[in-house]
Every structure is written in structure tokens, then in C-alpha cells.
Amino acid sequence: MENPQEEIRGVIVQLTSASSPDLQRRTVERYMTPDVAFRHPVCAVESGPTSRKTVLGIYQWYRVLSPHIEVQVNSVVWDSEHGYMFLDIQQWFKLFFVPVRPKPSRLCTRLTLRKEDDGLYYISMQEDFYHPDDFMALLLPPLVPFIHMVLLIAGLASSLNASFAHFFGFWRPIESNGSNSHLDGPSEEEDLYHDFNKHH
């Protein structure tokens, strides 16, 4: 890629929803380094001399499981200084043997790009991150509301458990929520911030 910020959307669409297996293979070979690494919630590929072939196999199996995939890249953040690209992606993926309509699933993808001797950028690592309910939308969409409810209950339970811990003296704030301690001078957070900057 000569301009990753502009080109990456087309690359992602070709990787995930190419019109033919040959186009998908050419896309992997054109935009990924031979030693590309891959991380996903259910599989991983370590970087190696021929790891791109394994990553291609994962993308091919992805299409076998879901013959029709729609992908939309909502936003792109390109950190050219460190070679990182962050993508907010939405996809419609349906296992061919599950007789339900696909639900949209969101994920965050982090790409590590490497500039080669030809002056172009290539993907040297791909990492996909999902929320549990978004990942469930890929497998069994009818269970998404249940997973979402479990997450909400877990959040409420965590907050209640903190209240119980405070009652027994664990990690209990000394100041009240309505305190005006910031008027009395630098806070502990400000002191820590200044100490950190002083040593870095």
C-alpha cells in the first residue's frame, strides 16, 4: 500500500468478501508479508517464513463457513510513527448451517504495517478484538440478547460487590463524592502525574 489510510478499506473488503478464491489469494499475497502473524479469539498464527500460507487458509475457511459476508469499515486511525492502524469494523457473518438471519457484529482490528524496500506498506500482523456479545453474533445470533444481559448483570454485580468491600474497609475512598478537595491544593492524582513526568 502506498497510502494505507486511503487503501485499507478496499483491502479489508477483498480479504473478507472477495468475489472469488483466486482474488482472495492474490489479495493476501499482495498486501501481507510472507511472515505475517495473526491473532483472533479462536485461532492464532505465529510469525514465520511461510506463515502467510496459514493465514490464507484461515481466510479461506472463513468463506467456507459463511459463503456470503458483508463488511463495512466505519473508521480508520493510522499511527504512521509506530506503524499501527486501528479499524472499527462491522460485519454480517452467518454460518452456512445455522438457519437464522445474520446480525451485525462489531470488532476492532489492529494492523501492524511494515514498510519494505519498495517503499510500500504491508500487513505484518493482524489482531482482531471482539466484545463477547459481538462474537456470539457470529456463532449463534439468537443468544446475543442473553449474553448482553449477562454482561449487564455482571457490571451491576461488580458495583454492588465494591459497595460490600467498602463496608468492610477494602479500597474505600476517604473523600465523599461531593468533596471540593481540588480547591485545597494539588490532589494525589496531580502529584502522581507530576512525579511521572519528572522521571520520564
For residue range 106-154, what is the model confidence (pLDDT) as tens digits?
A: 999 999 999 999 999 999 999 999 999 999 998 899 999 999 999 999 9
Question: In the predicted model, what is the mean pLDDT of residues 42-48?
Answer: 97
Cβ proximity of 37 and 125 under 8 Å: yes
Half-sphere exposure of 197 (CA within 13 A, CB side): 6
Cβ proximity of 124 and 80 under 8 Å: no
Helix then strand then coil, in percent of the chain rounded to 5, is: 45, 25, 30
Between the alpha carbon of residue 124 and those of residues 15, 132, 199, the distances in Å are 15, 26, 34
Q: How confident is the model at residue 104 (pLDDT cuts 50, 70, 90)?
A: very high
Residues 153 and 133: their CA atoms lie apart, in Å, by 14
Q: Which of 9-13, 15-19, 58-62, 172-176 has the lowest mean pLDDT?
A: 172-176
Cβ proximity of 149 and 157 under 8 Å: no
Q: Rounded to 5 degrees, what are φ and ψ at 3?
A: -130, 85
pLDDT at position 183: 53
Consecutive H or E run containing 133: helix 132-139
pTM of the model: 0.81
SS3 (DSSP) at 90: strand
Question: In the predicted model, what is the mean pLDDT of residues 72-90?
Answer: 97
Q: How confident is the model at residue 175 (pLDDT cuts 50, 70, 90)?
A: confident
pLDDT at position 100: 87
Question: In the predicted model, what is the mean pLDDT of residues 157-167?
Answer: 95
If we measure between CA atoms, which residue out of 86, 84, 64 comes closest to residue 75? 86
Between the alpha carbon of residue 34 and those of residues 29, 117, 118, 123, the distances in Å are 8, 14, 15, 10
Question: In the predicted model, what is the mean pLDDT of residues 39-52?
Answer: 97
Q: Which of 77-81, 93-97, 127-131, 177-181 has the lowest mean pLDDT?
A: 177-181
Is the pLDDT reported for residue 91 higher than 80?
yes
Q: How confident is the model at residue 24 (pLDDT cuts 50, 70, 90)?
A: very high
What's the grid cell of residue 64? 467456507
Question: In the predicted model, what is the mean pLDDT of residues 55-72?
Answer: 96
pLDDT at position 176: 65
pLDDT tens for each residue of 181-194: 455 555 556 665 56
pLDDT at position 48: 97
Consecutive H or E run containing 158: helix 144-167
